[in-house]
């Protein structure tokens, strides 16, 4: 009988140890999970509730009264509709043609998928979602971009994102190609080209506000010489948007530039030398060797900028105060205005729509990257 405690002691210890072994993984990961929940998931859920509620001052504090989809209804159908979606011009033959072309392209895209051997429910839902989203956005753009229509904050944001990123990539790539050549002063210019990215966006905005001021800015003599002293960028919706786009492109081209320089320099030299020996010209080398080599980096780069560019707010806020009218307001600026007025529900609703758009375009782009990668492999 004296052996019993001796037997049970190691057995209990073994149980404790094995339990600890079993739980160790979960417990070690718990702090990270908790941090993620606290910093990301809970705020997301809380802001979702706020988007379904109305903030009211109450004695000693505030209340958040549940109002259902009222804040979203206000954005799509109510008093915020023109601000959010824009003012729709009547349909014209041109708008029908453009929309028709996009609709046919989307229909072909769906048909090609359905004719494939493997069709999944998830894939089908995803594609229908994509078609509805792109179709809706196309409908909105063709009716707000045309004469008689007016862009809302959604369309303005899309203009900033796609026009801005297009020029940032083209300029970034051109500058990167230039500075990887064996030219004198290339190291100096690499540093100089990076400077705009290091300036705070508000600083950039104030600088461009001064530069675009035709009556007091440093370029006033030039405007005067061109007879443009009575012209102002901010009196015209597209003039103001262009000024903001120029500032945005100036600030973010260096980001494209530096990553593309790294991508270009990390290319293997052998294929380039072989192509040169074989008599390929510069364009052929770029098209068949350089471009495929930097494509994965370029896709990732564009995805990062895409996500970031949707959040533009500093430039329109400082350069134009969102004007003329609401012409230069982005979605973030729209949410900011509502937040400033303590219309927290409407602000959260706009922010959720922004999240939806970023996710929508992000997913399209990720799928595009995946498809490219598969094709390359």
Partner 1 sequence: MNSKSTLVKLLSILIIFGVLTTACGAPAATEAPPPTEAPPVATEAPATEAPAATEAPATEAGLMFEGVTVNLLTFVGPQVAEPLQRRGPDFTALTGATINVITVPNSELYQKALTDMATGTNAYDAFLFAPSWIVDFAPAGYIEDLTPRIEADAALEWDDVAPFFRDFNSYDGKVYSIPLDGDMHMVYYRIDSLEEAGLEPPKTWDDYLNVAKTLHGTDLNGDGEADYGSCISKAPAQQSYWWIWSIAAPYIQSQGNTQGTFFNTEDMTPLVNNAAFKRALEVYKETGPYGPPDESNQGVGDTRGLFISGRCALTMDWGDIGPLAIDPANSKVIDKVGAIVTPGSTEVLDRETGELVPCDATTCPYAVDGVNHAPYASFGGWAGAINAAADEKAKDAAYAFLSYMAQPEQSNADVVVGATGYNPFRISQFEDQQAWLDAGFSQAAADSYLSGIKDSLNSPNMVADLRIPSNQKYIQVELDRILAEYVAGDLTTDEAAQQLYDAWEAITEEVGRDAQLESYKATIGAK
Judged by the rule CB under 8 A, the positions of this chain that interact with partner 1 are 17, 20-21, 23-24, 27-28, 30-31, 54, 57-62, 78-79, 83, 87, 150, 213-215, 229-235, 237, 320-327, 337, 339-343
Closer by beta carbon to partner 1, 11 or else 79? 79
Residue 234 Cβ vs partner 1, minimum distance, rounded to whole Å: 4
Residue 245 Cβ vs partner 1, minimum distance, rounded to whole Å: 17
Closest to 320 in 3D by CA, of 219, 229, 235: 235
Closer by beta carbon to partner 1, 31 or else 93? 31
Residue reference for tokens 């102002």: 232
Q: Rounded CA gap, 335 and 354, in Å?
A: 9
Tokens of 375: 């094709």
Closer by beta carbon to partner 1, 84 or else 169? 84
Residue 140 Cβ vs partner 1, minimum distance, rounded to whole Å: 17
258 to 68, 71, 277, 332: CA distances (angstroms)? 47, 42, 29, 27
Closer by beta carbon to partner 1, 46 or else 304? 46
Residue 321 Cβ vs partner 1, minimum distance, rounded to whole Å: 5
Closer by beta carbon to partner 1, 55 or else 352? 55
Q: Rounded CA gap, 303 and 248, in Å?
A: 17
Q: Rounded CA gap, 355 and 48, in Å?
A: 11
Residue 54 Cβ vs partner 1, minimum distance, rounded to whole Å: 7
Beta-strand pair 61-66/150-151: unpaired
Tokens of 201: 């966006």
> Which of the 8 DSSP states describes residue 290?
I
């Amino acid at each position: 009988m004296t052996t019993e405690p001796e037997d049970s002691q190691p057995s209990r210890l073994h149980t404790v140890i094995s339990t600890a072994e079993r739980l160790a993984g979960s417990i070690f990961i718990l702090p990270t999970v908790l941090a993620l929940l606290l910093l990301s998931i809970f705020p997301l859920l809380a802001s979702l509730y706020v988007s379904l509620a109305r903030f009211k001052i109450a004695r000693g504090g505030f209340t958040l009264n549940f109002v259902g989809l009222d804040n979203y209804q206000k954005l799509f159908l109510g008093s915020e509709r023109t601000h959010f979606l824009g003012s729709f011009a009547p349909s014209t033959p041109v708008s029908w043609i453009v929309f028709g072309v996009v609709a046919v392209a989307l229909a072909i895209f769906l048909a090609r998928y359905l004719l494939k051997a493997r069709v999944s429910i998830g894939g089908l839902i995803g594609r229908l979602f994509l078609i509805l989203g792109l179709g809706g956005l196309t409908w909105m753009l063709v009716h707000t971009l045309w004469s008689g229509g007016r862009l809302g904050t959604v369309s303005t944001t899309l203009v900033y994102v796609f026009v801005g990123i297009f020029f940032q990539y083209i300029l970034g790539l051109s500058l990167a190609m230039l500075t990887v050549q064996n030219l004198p002063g290339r190291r100096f210019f690499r540093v100089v080209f990076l400077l705009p990215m290091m300036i705070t966006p508000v600083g950039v905005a104030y600088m461009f506000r001064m530069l675009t001021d035709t009556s007091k800015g440093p370029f006033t003599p030039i405007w005067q010489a061109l007879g443009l002293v009575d012209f102002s960028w901010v009196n015209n919706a597209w003039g103001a948007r262009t000024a903001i786009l120029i500032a945005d492109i100036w600030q973010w081209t260096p980001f494209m530039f530096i990553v593309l320089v790294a991508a270009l320099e990390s290319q293997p030299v052998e294929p380039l030398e072989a192509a040169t020996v074989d008599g390929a010209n510069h364009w052929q080398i770029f098209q068949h060797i350089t471009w495929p080599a930097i494509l994965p980096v370029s896709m990732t780069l564009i995805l990062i900028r895409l996500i970031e560019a949707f959040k533009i707010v500093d430039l329109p806020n400082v350069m134009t105060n969102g004007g003329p009218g609401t012409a230069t307001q982005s979605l973030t600026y729209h949410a900011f205005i509502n937040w400033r007025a303590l219309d927290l529900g409407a602000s959260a609703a706009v922010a959720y729509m922004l999240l939806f758009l970023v996710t929508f375009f992000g997913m399209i782009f990720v799928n595009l990257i995946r498809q490219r990668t598969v094709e390359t492999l």
